[in-house]
Structure 1
Amino acid sequence: MHASGTATQADRWIGRGEALARLGVKAQTLYAYVSRGRIAARPDPDDPRRSLYAVADVVRLSGDEPEADIGQWLPPPEASDAPDIEIRSSVSLSAGRRLFYRGLDAVQLAETATLEDVARLMWDARSGNPFVEVRPRVGTMPGHSARGRLFSALARRAEEDAEFKARPAETLRIECARVLDEAVDAVAGPGPRLFLHQRLARAWKVREPDAHLVRRALVLAADNGLDAPALAARAAAAGGASPAGAALAGLATLAGTGTIVELARESAWVVAVRRQAVDAARRAHEAGALPGFGDSAWSGGDPRAAALLAVADLPQDLARAMREGQEMTGRPPTFGLALVAVARRLELPRDAAADLLMIGRLAGLLAHVLDQTTNGSPIRARLRYVGPEPGAN
């Protein structure tokens, strides 16, 4: 149904293609207009996965003369106190007791895939290899810890790309490959151009037969659905941040979550187990300090933890503590505890479990950034002020 006359222009809406054509901009710019409130958007009633854009706002920004027959007439959306917080993602999905990266089982991928393989999959680059275009960057990053150097590398790239401009998806994938490559170099240091997990294993002096554990851990850590770090990365990308800047927002969010705090507690418990293994799990359970068992997001147990522990070949004392902990709590180990156990099994640095998680998640966060930039729906949220009224104090 169409309406005539400019009086009803506020009730008319057009699809993304027509909006882009009339504005003469890229999709990223259109989404930025929406996120900044310059163009109103609403779900398409015929396909909720798509958005429609207000004709009046598009006409105002394009400078075109309004036309009576532009767009579809729709009744005004129903008023609601709740903002639209639906985020559409094609990156990963948890279903039942399985985690899928773009439709492929993450546990099965971890059997043979490298982090580069999974990045290409999650970045929807299966027809090409963006890592082919990557060249090593000369120079080391400052920082006493691996995490500090990782954040410094991302901050440097974010500063260099501060005036980020819209680019084709293929170019963005190459940019993401460079970001991930430089991040791993920041953690591992310079060296031969091996696979990403091999560079880390070499830096950590992991025996070659055990390097597959580093590879599996990185692949399994790549994504965990739409959690706070992924949302932070997507929001930054929707606001116009470069891939490095948006990924840095996601990793900074991850660093502040309870996940990292819990990793530290799990690591301390594993160290205690290694020092005095007899009844270590039981004593910790009785003291109410047995971390790492049970995850509310996985009622039947995290499949990533089970897959990693199944091939970890843990020493007898640690394997026994794991079994006792599961028997006493009635809950399986978390993925975080599995990362910690593997880190101790390989005798990695103290914070290596968190480093593995962050480097793996970086590939997934870059996938969310790409997905949001190229195909994502606008992120609409509303900040409601609830503080003192002006002049009240």
Structure 2
Amino acid sequence: MRDQEPAPLDAERRLSTKEAAELLGVKPETVYAYVSRGQLSSRRVTGGRGSTFDAREVEALARRNRRESAGSSPSGGELSVRTRITLIESDRYYYRGVDAVDLATRHTYEEVAEWLWTGRMRPGTTFTAPAASVAVARRAVDTLPEHAAPTDLLRVATIAAATADPLRFDLSEDAVLGTARTLIPTLVAALPPAGHDRRDEGPLAHRLWTRLSPRKDPDEASLRALDTALALLVDHDLAASTLAVRVAASARAHAYAAVSAGLGVIEGPLHGAASGLAHRLLVDVLDQGDAAPVIADELRAGRRIPGLGHRLYAAEDPRARALFALLEQIPRAEPALLAARDIVETTARHAPLHANVDLALAVLTTSCGMPPTAGETIFAVARTAGWIAHALEEYGERPLRMRPSGLYAGPKPPQPLPE
């Protein structure tokens, strides 16, 4: 028996937080999480504390949530995708059943990537880029204008590397793993240096540092934080970019093309580019010495506060918690850490939201002298390993299964020919 739809709400009525939570069937703090993700708009109560919400928006969101929780699409197909890679539950996440934070804090990015791909740990593994692949990728990247975004550089480098690989159409597991182990270091090698000589040997995080920070002699704590950030971000279940990768792999696109699909999605402000917004917010707070006026300006402009809240975690993002713990060991990161804490505490006065990994990345990039786009670069390089894992998994499924049917809502045919 279907649940009865509630009667339409008064279009002019505004709901309290308690009323909105009851209609949505969630806790009050989850209502504010919807606001932080741009799924609801709120209005502060005049002369008091708390917020009100548009009744029509809340009702529409409740209907969407009911449809999604039904577990099937209009065409009868499953909305979920079976995977053995990442599990997220109870404010923790796991890579192949192993706590991802434990893996990331005890192993290098390359070792965690290997675990994700094969389920085997290969201590001391490092990725090496073929000279021919690096050469063609660098030539392609060098043709781009100086203002090109990191994802522009990485997309072009990916396509260029594909042209140098005559075996790219081999979708066997061994061939795809070979591609993965060379593509990721090729992407890093193709990035321009950050004011000093490139480093093309050693752990991948050390090589990436020379592309992101102008500081020539990084301390071990900073390098460890960067390496751990990469490992923490390797995968996060079916994020939007990962779903795009699986769709491409379902059509049997080769691994380079599948990665390119992910890079095309990751550039959105609600995905990979979110860390850059958090970086700029953090810099504004550091410049003004107080989060309150900066937060007020953001809210006055109708913008959500970047770096706060996550739809999959009711408490603090475990990736943020792990990264903050490492950053606390870096003396020069203290101002940025205090500014981040100020942002969380100031916003918590009306929206009980926790820090997410974008805010932690912003502290890392700010304290290491990196540009606002550095977090997006870290995110894209890290997630490439996860995309390869999902592409490999999808290659083992029925081809073209990622093909939902549209629910047509246009004019009923037949319609007359247009004049």
Structure 1 length as normaliser, TM-score? 0.72
Q: Note the alpha carbon deviations across 1:287-339, whole angstroms, 9 max, x for none.
A: 42643222222111210001101111364433332223222313221111111
Q: Tell me what 1:370 maps to.
A: 392
Q: Tell me what 2:382 maps to.
A: 360
Q: Tell me what 1:219 maps to.
A: 231
Displacement of 1:219: 0.8
* Cα 1:302–1:148 shift into 2, 3 Å: same
Q: What is the CA–CA distance in structure 2 between the aligned matches of 1:182 and 1:102, rounded to whole Å?
A: 26
Contact 1:305 1:335 in 2 (8 A): yes
Matches within 5 A, 1:131-170: 134-136=129-131, 137-139=133-135, 140=138, 141-142=141-142, 143=144, 144=146, 145=148, 146-159=150-163, 165-170=169-174
* Cα 1:86–1:166 shift into 2, 3 Å: farther
Displacement of 1:178: 1.4
Displacement of 1:354: 1.0
Q: Note the alpha carbon deviations across 1:133-156, whole angstroms, 9 max, x for none.
A: 753334223233443221111122
Matches within 5 A, 1:262-301: 262-277=274-289, 280-287=290-297, 288=299, 290-301=305-316
- The structure whose Rg is larger is 1
The one-letter code of the counterpart of 1:229 is S
Q: Note the alpha carbon deviations across 1:196-255, whole angstroms, 9 max, x for none.
A: 111012332451322111101111111111121111100101101110100110121111
Q: Note the alpha carbon deviations across 1:341-387, whole angstroms, 9 max, x for none.
A: 11001111231011111111111111111111135783342234444
Structure 2 regions of 5+ residues with no counterpart? 1-72
For the aligned residues, what is the CA RMSD?
2.9
2:183 is aligned, of 168, 179, 203, to: 179
> What SS is found at the alignment partner of 1:83?
coil
1:208 aligns with 2:219: yes
1:115 aligns with 2:99: no
Structure 1 regions of 5+ residues with no counterpart? 1-78
Contact 1:161 1:242 in 2 (8 A): no
Greater shift, 350-359 or 155-164, is seen at: 155-164
> What SS is found at the alignment partner of 2:94?
strand
Q: Tell me what 1:100 maps to.
A: 94
Q: Tell me what 1:320 maps to.
A: 338
Q: What is the CA–CA distance in structure 1 between the aligned matches of 2:379 and 2:151, rounded to whole Å?
A: 11
Contact 1:151 1:248 in 2 (8 A): yes
Q: Tell me what 2:15 maps to.
A: none
Contact 1:131 1:174 in 2 (8 A): no
> What SS is found at the alignment partner of 1:258?
coil
Displacement of 1:193: 1.9
> What SS is found at the alignment partner of 1:100?
strand
Q: What is the CA–CA distance in structure 2 between the aligned matches of 1:163 and 1:109, rounded to whole Å?
A: 32
Q: Note the alpha carbon deviations across 1:160-189, whole angstroms, 9 max, x for none.
A: 569854443122101111111211112256
1:91 aligns with 2:85: yes
Greater shift, 213-222 or 124-133, is seen at: 124-133
Q: What is the CA–CA distance in structure 1 between the aligned matches of 2:417 and 2:94, rounded to whole Å?
A: 52
Q: Tell me what 1:192 maps to.
A: 200
The one-letter code of the counterpart of 2:343 is G
Q: What is the CA–CA distance in structure 1 between the aligned matches of 2:254 and 2:165, rounded to whole Å?
A: 6
Aligned residues: 314
Q: Tell me what 2:75 maps to.
A: 81
Contact 1:83 1:380 in 2 (8 A): no
* Cα 1:380–1:86 shift into 2, 3 Å: farther
Contact 1:85 1:379 in 2 (8 A): no
The one-letter code of the counterpart of 1:126 is R
| Identical amino acids, percent of aligned pairs | 24
Structure 2 length as normaliser, TM-score? 0.68
Displacement of 1:158: 4.1
Q: What is the CA–CA distance in structure 2 between the aligned matches of 1:179 and 1:315, rounded to whole Å?
A: 32
* Cα 1:286–1:292 shift into 2, 3 Å: same
Q: What is the CA–CA distance in structure 1 between the aligned matches of 2:127 and 2:345, rounded to whole Å?
A: 48
